Amino acid sequence: MLDQARIDALRDAPVTPGAHIIDGARREASDGATMEVISPLNGQVLTTIPKGTAQDAEAAIAAARATHGDGRWADLAPAARKKILMKWAELIEAEAEDLAVLGVRNNGTEIGMALKAEPLTAVANIRYYAEALDKLYGEIAPTAPGNLGLVHREPAGVVGAIVPWNFPLMIGTWKLGPALAAGCSVVLKPAETASLTLIRLAELALEAGLPKGILNVVTGEGHVVGAAIAESMDVDVLVFTGSGATGRRLLEASAKSNMKRVYLELGGKSPNIVFADAPDLDEAAKVSAAGIFRNSGQVCVAGSRLLVERSIHDDFVARLAAQTENMKVGDPLDPSTNAGAVNSLRQLEQNLGFVEEAKSQGREVRIGGKRILEETGGYYMAPTIVTGVEPDDRLAQQEVFGPVLAVIPFDTEEEALQIANGTEFGLAAAVWTSDLSRAHRMVRKVKAGVVHVNTYGGADLTVPLGGLKQSGNGHDKSLHAFDKYLDLKTAWFKL
């Protein structure tokens, strides 16, 4: 339950300048440089964070390496690690509303979504992996008599985690939860435009009793801090959520350094496929609108391509437009708002550039397509539906990461599959149909790590999230996330 009085009290409250968290202490950048944090709500300076250097990243990595090596965390009894992580979750939960407001002021997500998706999801993530960590058993191999084969699971070592700005706490704890539960040490690099809540998260971890040096946070530019982490010879595992271009650079850095394992979630151009026999077209329109326009389209799994069977195309687009017109876009700290601000002016301009290109190609902007609320100084964009899009258009091929929906008609199931699979991405998808056999066929044939049926979004922590094709590799969420942070070691005995 949101406390509006508390939200209003925090809305304009001064924000303490951010700091690195290295070896348990708040630190400035080694050269004293800072970066302004601009709030997308009003375009004003919110506070500053350190503009980290390669030396800062190296100091954090050294702390993580030393503390992993001395076993202060990795060698703790699983029950002891669990106790600290559960206390951490308790402290986050106690500050959930404050963290949500801080996050909204930093990245623009609407408060109703932010509270649930950010601090409360972080709490759930940490508790889930804390509860699971003492239930991961080794194995005894079925060997011939006279031999004994044991399979041990050991923490992989130092983890470098680079996370994006759209859901820093949720995505951050998708990585921190299993990494810390597994006994690893972590160097976390937040996005430049969404570092504040993750800094506070690390401070709360220390309050909960996490040993110094186990979780380190270094803020700054990706090409400096992120590159230093990726190129380090002392980072064993690198996990990243973000763009494909950056993902490629991280793979190159791994190859040029110590060939560290790299796990990537690189976004998508997810198809939302509506057949004429969808069980409830109004529900499909309502959920589809949320699936692309919540958080102003800044969602990795956003259903940004709407594929509609031609016989219902006009009717369904009309229903979708009606749902969209009823969405309230504006002040993210107003609980009645359905979509908040775009994260930055740069992102807003990129979104509008996609729309202008589509218009130049003769595509129809059915609704939206423009900046709104410019008088606030903030970065707001009207939810946008573009029809007449061709499958090979850039709008249908490249991730916008904004509130822009490309609508494409199809005639047959085979054509829908061809269009759905006709991009370099493969993160998420949805199928709306009353035909159970068709649903199973589509789940099997659509190339995506998550395929929703008669819904969009909402898959909880019990199932993995990972991409196919150029949407990445490895999985966040579920018990499968542990695979990234645990090494298998065989012990072979001659009896």
Using the predicted structure, report yes or no on whether residue 2 has a pLDDT greater than 90.
no
Q: φ and ψ at 344, to 5 degrees? A: -155, 160
Q: Distance between the two ends of the chain, CA-based, in angstroms? A: 61
User: Rounded distance, CA 342 to CA 53, Å?
Assistant: 28
Using the predicted structure, report yes or no on whether residue 1 has a pLDDT greater than 80.
no
pLDDT at residue number 4: 86
Q: What is the pLDDT of residues 51-80, one digit of tens each?
A: 999 999 999 999 999 999 999 999 999 999
- Going by C-alpha positions, the residue among 367, 259, 354 that lies closest to residue 322 is 367
Q: Kindly list the distances between the CA atom of residue 166 and the CA atoms of 259, 286, 390, in Å, as whole numbers in the listed order.
A: 29, 22, 28
Question: What would the two tokens of residue 388 be?
Answer: 């007449």
Q: Which residues contact 135 (CB under 8 A, 6 or more apart)?
A: none
User: Rounded distance, CA 423 to CA 396, Å?
Assistant: 8
Using the predicted structure, report yes or no on whether residue 3 has a pLDDT greater than 90.
no
Q: Is the separation of the CB atoms in 255 and 286 below 8 Å?
A: no
Residue intervals of the chain classified under CATH 3.40.309.10 are: 271-460
**Which 3 state secondary structure label does DSSP give 104?**
helix
Per-residue pLDDT band for 125 (boundaries 50, 70, 90) equals very high
Q: What is the pLDDT of residues 40-50, one digit of tens each?
A: 999 999 999 99
Q: What's the mean pLDDT when you consider all of the chain?
A: 97
Reported pTM: 0.97
Using the predicted structure, report yes or no on whether residue 121 has a pLDDT greater than 90.
yes
User: Rounded distance, CA 335 to CA 171, Å?
Assistant: 23
Q: What is the pLDDT of residues 283-325, one digit of tens each?
A: 999 999 999 999 999 999 999 999 999 999 999 999 999 999 9
How do 215-217 and 364-367 pair as beta strands? unpaired
Least confident of 1-5, 47-51, 196-200: 1-5
Q: Is the separation of the CB atoms in 2 and 119 below 8 Å?
A: no
CA 453 remoteness from chain centre: 22
Q: What is the pLDDT of residues 316-347, one digit of tens each?
A: 999 999 999 999 999 999 999 999 999 999 99
CATH topology for 271-460 is: Aldehyde Dehydrogenase; Chain A, domain 2 (3.40.309)
Using the predicted structure, report yes or no on whether residue 86 has a pLDDT greater than 90.
yes
Q: Is the separation of the CB atoms in 120 and 93 below 8 Å?
A: yes
Question: What would the two tokens of residue 172 be?
Answer: 């951050």
User: Rounded distance, CA 468 to CA 253, Å?
Assistant: 22
CA dihedral 124, 77, 20, 297 (to 10 degrees): -20
Query: Is 265 a known active-site residue?
Result: yes
Tell me which CATH code domain 4-266+472-492 carries. Answer: 3.40.605.10
pLDDT at residue number 339: 97
Segment 86-104 mean pLDDT: 97
Contacts of 360-367 with C-beta under 8 Å, sequence gap 24+, read 361/393, 362/388, 363/387, 363/388, 363/389, 363/393, 363/395, 364/388, 366/317, 366/321, 366/407, 367/321, 367/324, 367/325
Q: What is the pLDDT of residues 222-277, one digit of tens each?
A: 999 999 999 999 999 999 999 999 999 999 999 999 999 999 999 899 999 999 99
Which one from 118, 265, 309, 413 is the annotated catalytic residue? 265
Residue intervals of the chain classified under CATH 3.40.605.10 are: 4-266+472-492
What angle, 0 to 180 degrees and rounded to 10, lies between the N-to-C axes of helices 96-107 and 168-181? 120
